[in-house]
Chain A
Amino acid sequence: MLFDRDMLNRLYRYAYALSGNEPGAGDLLQDTVERCLQRPPGALACPEAYARRVMRNRYIDITRRRKASPETGDAHTDAELLAIDTHCLESLTISRDMLQQAWSRLDVFEREILYYWAVEDMTAAQIASTLGSRRGTVLARIHRLRARLRAEFGDDAAAEGVKR
C-alpha cells in the first residue's frame, strides 16, 4: 500500500495547513491520493514527499494563486531580515483556542510556514527550499505573521522578547 494510516494523517495535516479547514483538507487529500495512485507501483521513491508536492501544486491550481501567492512578500532590507528567523516565533505564546480562531484567517503561505516550522522543525531556509521560495520572502512573511499575531491577540500573543 502506498500510504499507511500514519502517512495519511500527516498528509491530512498538511492538507489542512494548505486549505485552512478540514473539509477542504479531506477533498485535497482524496484528490492527491488518487493522483499518486496513477503512478506505477514502485515508481515513487518517497511517496509522502511526492504526495506533498502533488498536493501543493493541486491546491495552487485550485485556488489559482488568487491571493496567497508565496512570492508576494513585503520588501525588507537585509538588515531587517537578519533580525528575523523562525526563532522569533518561539517567543510567542498563544492558547490553542486562540490559535484555532486565528488559523483560518491566516493565508496559505503563513499556514505552510507554521506547519513546517512546528511539525517538521524546519528553519526559514529549509522552509524556503521546500516551498521553492526565496529565504527573504519566507523571512518577510514570518516577520509579518508575528506582528499580525501580536496585534490580533495583543498581550496574549505577545512575547517575552525575541530570542536571537
Chain B
Amino acid sequence: MSSDRILNFAIRFGFLILLAGLVLYFSVFANGFASPRSAVFILQSVAITGILALGVTCTLVVDGFDLSIGSVATSALMLSAYAMVVLELSAGMAILMCLLMGAGVGLVNGLLIVKFKVPDLLATLGMMFLLIGLQRIPTQGNSIATGMALPDGSTAEGSFSPAFLWFGRERLDLVLENLLPVPVVVFLVIAVAIWVFLDFTRHGRLMYAIGSNQKAAALVGAPVSRNKIAAYMISGVMASIGGILLAARLGRGDIASGTNLLLDSVAAALIGFAVLGAARPNAFGTAIGALFVGILLQGLTMMNAPYYTQDFVKGAVLVIALVFTFYLSSRRGAGAG
C-alpha cells in the first residue's frame, strides 16, 4: 500500500533528506556556509571524532561496545607528547608506540570480554578509568610541553617534531591552495577502508554474523573469539590514531583535551544506524552521522548560536536518529510480519 511505501521511503532516505535540507537551509541563511573552505572546516571538525566513531562501529558490529576509546585517544595524545618531549624520541617512534598502545588496549579489552567473560560495557568502562588514571601518572597530573619541569627536577628538553605536527596542521593543495588538512585525508581514507572491510570482505561479513547470532556463527565454524578481539583491536587502533591527530594539532600533551571524544563518536555511530534505514552499525552511516553533527554545529555557529547549545543540539539529533531507527523500523517489521 502507499502508506507502507512512504514509510519505507522515510526509513531509507529520511535522514539523508534531512541532511540535504540542512545544507540547503544553511547555504541560504548562513553567510559563507556554501564554500569549499567551510566544507573543509566541517570535515576537519569531525575528522577525529569520525575516526573514533568508525572504530566503535566495528565493536558495535560484533554486538559489543567500547567505552574506552575516548581514554585511548587521550592516552595516545599524552604518550606521543611524552615520547617526543620527555624521551626525545622521533616522530615515527612516537606514532608506532601510540598505535601499539591502541592495539594492546584493544587486545586486553577483547581478552577480558572473550576469555574472562566480563560484560563488554563493564570491561571497557574499567579500562577507561584505568587509562584516564594511567596517563596522568608519569607527569604527576600535569600537561606535557617543552620546557616543563620533570619530577626529578630537570626540564624536558625535547619538542614535537615538525614531521609529527605535519599530521595535524598541514593542508594539502586540492584545486584551491592549502585546502585539505591532513586529518581530513586520514579520516576519509579510514572511512573508505572500514567501509570496504565491513561491507565487502569475508571477515566483515563474519563480524556481522557474530553480532547478529553469535551461537549460529560459532556453529558454522567461524572463529568468534578471534573476530571479537580483532574488533576491539581495530577500535583501539582507531582511537589511538585519533589521539595522534589531536596531539599533532595541539602541539602539546594537554591533559584536559578530548573529554568529549567518547560521547561524540558514540553518538555518530548510533546516528549512523538511521542512515539508509540500515538499523544496524555501518561504516557509511557512521561517517554520515559524524558529518551530520559537524554540519549542524558549523551552520548554527555561523548563525551565531552560542557554543553552549552544542551538546543540546547533538543530543536532539541523536534522539531523533534513534527514533528513526527503532520506532520506524519496528513499525515496518510489524507491517510485514
Note whether A and B form a binding pair.
Answer: no
Interface residue ranges, A against B (CB under 8 Å): none
Interface residue ranges, B against A (CB under 8 Å): none
